[in-house]
Amino acid sequence: MVRKLKYHEQKLLKKVDFITWQSDNNLHEVKVLRKYHIQKREDYVKYSKLAKLVWVLTEKLKALDPRDSFRVKSTEALLEKLYSMGIITSRKSLALADKVTATSFCRRRLPIIMVKLRMAQAVKDAVKYIEQGHIRVGPDIITDPAFLVTRNMEDFVTWTDTSKIRKHVLDYHGQRDDFDLI
The answer to whether residues 152 and 84 touch, using CB atoms and an 8 Å cutoff, is: yes
Q: For residue range 1-20, what is the model confidence (pLDDT) as tens digits?
A: 688 889 888 888 887 766 65
User: From CA 104, how far away is CA 98, in angstroms rounded?
Assistant: 12
User: From CA 75, how far away is CA 59, in angstroms rounded?
Assistant: 11
The domain spans of the chain are 27-106, 110-181
Q: For residue range 90-143, what is the model confidence (pLDDT) as tens digits?
A: 998 899 999 999 999 999 999 999 999 999 999 999 999 999 999 999 999 999
pLDDT, position 121: 94
pLDDT, position 9: 86
- For 71, the enclosing helix (H) or strand (E) is helix 69-85
Q: For residue range 21-76, what is the model confidence (pLDDT) as tens digits?
A: 565 557 888 899 999 999 999 999 999 999 999 999 999 999 999 999 999 999 99
User: From CA 31, how far away is CA 167, in angstroms rounded?
Assistant: 35
Q: Give the total residue count for the chain.
A: 182
153: helix, strand or coil:
helix
Residue 100: C-alpha distances to residues 79, 89, 94, 103, 109 (Å)? 11, 11, 11, 8, 15
pLDDT, position 171: 81
DSSP string computed for 21-33: PPP---HHHHHHH
Q: For residue range 139-182, what is the model confidence (pLDDT) as tens digits?
A: 999 999 999 999 999 999 999 988 888 887 878 777 777 665 55
